[in-house]
């Protein structure tokens, strides 16, 4: 079983739609959680951290359920510029440092 699992998509949605991505992780010792965004042939960039209380940043809402080991990302009012791959990331930690474990990514295509 992969440490972080995501639906690879692609998700093709019209502009203005609401889209939700889900992710599960297997290591219950995971310490922190993130969503990264990666544009085609570019490096990953942090989109937002994810907290159990849920957190929102503009059109983006992230949620963590530690009991179910489940992470979600909701994008409202999708824009063409949201087209990218969204990576679910878990920090397991190793020897006092961070070990970021990435899912395979979910590809989003927002269309006119």
Partner 1 sequence: DAGVTQSPTHLIKTRGQHVTLRCSPISGHKSVSWYQQVLGQGPQFIFQYYEKEERGRGNFPDRFSARQFPNYSSELNVNALLLGDSALYLCASSWTGTETEAFFGQGTRLTVV
Indicate whether 49 belongs to the interface with partner 1 (CB under 8 A). yes
Sign of CA dihedral 45, 107, 79, 75: negative
Among 28, 68, 81, 94, binds partner 1 (CB under 8 A): 94
- 63 or 106: CB nearest partner 1: 106
Question: Measured from the CB of residue 76, what is the shortest distance to partner 1 in angstroms?
Answer: 24
- 8 or 16: CB nearest partner 1: 8
- 74 or 100: CB nearest partner 1: 100
Q: What are phi and psi of 82, to 5 degrees?
A: -80, -10
Indicate whether 99 belongs to the interface with partner 1 (CB under 8 A). yes
Indicate whether 22 belongs to the interface with partner 1 (CB under 8 A). no
Indicate whether 66 belongs to the interface with partner 1 (CB under 8 A). no
- CB within 8 A of 79, min separation 6: which ones? 15, 59, 110
How many residues lie near partner 1 (CB under 8 A)?
Answer: 25
Look at strands 4-6 and 19-25 and give their pairing: antiparallel
Indicate whether 43 belongs to the interface with partner 1 (CB under 8 A). yes
Residue from 15, 23, 30, 11 nearest 78 by CA? 15
10: cis peptide before it, omega within 30°? yes
């Amino acid at each position: 079983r992969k440490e972080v699992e995501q639906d690879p998509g692609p998700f093709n949605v019209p502009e203005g739609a609401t889209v939700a991505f889900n992710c599960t992780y297997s290591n219950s010792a995971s310490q922190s959680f993130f969503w990264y965004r990666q544009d085609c042939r570019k490096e990953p960039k942090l989109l937002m951290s994810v907290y159990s209380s849920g957190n929102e940043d503009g059109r983006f809402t992230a949620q963590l359920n530690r009991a179910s080991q489940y992470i979600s990302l909701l994008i409202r009012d999708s824009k063409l510029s949201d087209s990218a791959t969204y990576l679910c990331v878990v920090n397991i930690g190793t020897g006092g440092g961070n070990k970021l474990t990435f899912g395979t990514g979910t590809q989003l295509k927002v269309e006119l």
